[in-house]
Structure 1
Amino acid sequence: MTSAATTLATRRPVTRPGAGGGPGCLVMGVVNVTPDSFSDGGRHDRAASAVEHGCSLLEQGAAWVDVGGESTRPGAGRVPAAEELRRVLPVVRALSGHGVPVSIDTTRAAVARAAVEHGATMVNDVSGGRADPRMAPTVADLGVPYVLTHSRGPSRDMAARAHYGDVVLEVRDELLRRVDEVCALGVDPARVLLDPGLGFAKTAEHTWRLLGRLDVLVATGFPVLVGASRKGFLAAAVRGGEGRPAADRDGATAATTLLAAQAGAWGVRVHDVDGSMDVLRVLRATVAHRGG
Structure 2
Amino acid sequence: MAWWHMSLNKTVFFICVLFIILSVGVHFTPNFSSISIISLLNGASPNYRNPCIDFLHSIEYKNRTECADRPVEKTWSWMQSRPRVATCEFKKLKKPDASVMLNRSWVVFAGDSQTRLGMISLLKLVELPERVRKVREDLAKLHTDYSTFVDSIGMKLDFKWKPYVRRLSKLMLEFKKNKKYPDIIVMGAGLWDMLYENNVSDYDASLRGLRNSLQDLNSKDRRVQPHLFWLGMPTLINSKLKTEEKRHNLTEPRRIRYDNTVNGSKLLNKFGGPCLKLDIQLLSELCGPQCTKDGLHYDEIVYDIAIQIMLNAMLIESTHKTHF
Q: TM-score range by the shorter chain?
A: 0.3 to 0.5
TM norm structure 2:
0.36
Q: Larger Cα Rg: Structure 1 or Structure 2?
A: 2
TM norm structure 1:
0.39
